[in-house]
Amino acid sequence: MSVPDRTNGTNGSSGAQASPPPAGIYVPVPTFWAKEGTASYDPVSPPLDLDTQTEHSLFLVKGGIRGLVILGSTGEAIFTRSEERNQLISSQRKALDDAGYKDRPIIAGTATQQIDDTLKMIEESKAAGAEFAMVLGPGYFAPATSQQGIQKWFQAVANKSVLPVMIYHYPGVTNDLYIAPATFEKLAAHPNIVGTKLSHGIIDDQTLIAASPRIDHDHFYVFTGLGQNLLPVLTIGGVAAIDGLAGIFPRIVVRLFNMFNESAAKGTSKQDMQAMRDLQFRICEGEKLVAAYGVIGIKEAIARLWGMGSKTGGRLPLAGGFQEGDKEWSKWAETFEGLKQLEEKFKSEGKEA
């Protein structure tokens, strides 16, 4: 793996073509807050728990995760102060570097509506150690927003962004903002826009982007935001996934990604295809929790299965975790204990790290 050039993505107005992040499985990491009962705990706005954050980051990269998305939707970006954002990014960049993982890029999320605020956040993220910016679409006025307006908004950000820009298309958190495949074709031509995370299940739109002959796919990478779609998206030209379940079971999701690429290189057999389908099935079983509970479910599983973090969830209004605690977890326990056993089996084989 090559070490990323951290000067990549100089001001987009220079016209120089930026490079996309290396292909592989990325995790939108949760942000860990101080646990109840600790001296620094505040029930309204608990501080960062950087020790657990680092423990989780190293757990992921040792499991083969290619890079981290910090302060995306799963990272509760909208509940995080500016100084906390910078502290979070810089601490994890240092932790990765110190542990020998300088080649694992950090993608910093933004979730602002205003262009200048977005650019400032990207600039601060770069100073803290991020290599790419994943920019959420502006959805406040989604019903009245035209495709031309979306195109011009992202182009305005990319023109001045000091980091390469990835388009984060997640209708579920942007008031159902819709970005059409034709708009992606136009945006993909921008020298400082290098990819997208598609967090929706519209498989025909994903195909029209990932397989479009009007997009330079060496410059613009398509990542699915849904691990349950990983195998289908790989077959239509997508690069990989930025996936929540991989934050719990990194080796399982990485294994499917590796299986696909290895089998494609040598010629996919029926046995290869069946093995990939079986693994995709297991991933889909686990993704049901992620789809149902989002960051709350991810944190619950990480705490219960691996002992990292707290089951009490996020900052208000997400604080509290599962409302019915053990009763709700019992509905998922069999599936997740089975996935944990599979994760540990893959760890013993030592293929992903």
**Cβ atoms 96, 57 nearer than 8 A:** yes
Q: Please, which residues have CB within 8 angstroms of residue 33's CB and are 6 or more apart in sequence? A: 46, 47, 48, 49, 310, 314, 315
Question: In the prediction, which pLDDT does 42 show?
Answer: 84
Residue 2 lies in a domain: no
Residue 178 lies in a domain: yes
Residue 259 lies in a domain: yes
Residue 274 lies in a domain: yes
Q: Domain limits at 275?
A: 12-349
Which amino acid makes up residue 236?
I
CA distance to 77, 116, 119, 309, per residue, from 134 (Å): 12, 15, 12, 25
Residue 36 lies in a domain: yes
Give pLDDT tens digits along the chain (353 positions): 444 455 454 556 556 899 999 999 999 999 999 988 787 788 888 899 999 999 999 999 999 999 999 999 999 999 999 999 999 999 999 999 999 999 999 999 999 999 999 999 999 999 999 999 999 999 999 999 999 999 999 999 999 999 999 999 999 999 999 999 999 999 999 999 999 999 999 999 999 999 999 999 999 999 999 999 999 999 999 999 999 999 999 999 999 999 999 999 999 999 999 999 999 999 999 999 999 999 999 999 999 999 999 877 788 898 888 888 899 999 999 999 999 999 999 999 988 87
CA count, 13 A, side-chain hemisphere, 151: 14
Question: In the prediction, which pLDDT does 122 show?
Answer: 98
Based on the residue annotation, tell me whether 178 is a catalytic residue of this protein: no
What is the reported pTM?
A: 0.94
Q: Which of 26, 168, 170, 221 is catalytic?
A: 168
Tally the domains of the chain.
Answer: 1
**Cβ atoms 170, 196 nearer than 8 A:** no
Based on the residue annotation, tell me whether 168 is a catalytic residue of this protein: yes
CA count, 13 A, side-chain hemisphere, 159: 8
Residue 6 lies in a domain: no
CATH of the domain at 150: 3.20.20.70
Residue 150 lies in a domain: yes
Which of 309, 279, 232, 317 has the alpha carbon at shortest distance from 44? 317
Q: Please, which residues have CB within 8 angstroms of residue 295's CB and are 6 or more apart in sequence? A: 30, 73, 74, 75, 76, 244, 313, 314, 318
Q: Which of 197, 293, 299, 311 is catalytic?
A: 197
Residue 1 lies in a domain: no
Question: In the prediction, which pLDDT does 319 show?
Answer: 84
Which of 80, 4, 30, 72 has the alpha carbon at shortest distance from 316? 80
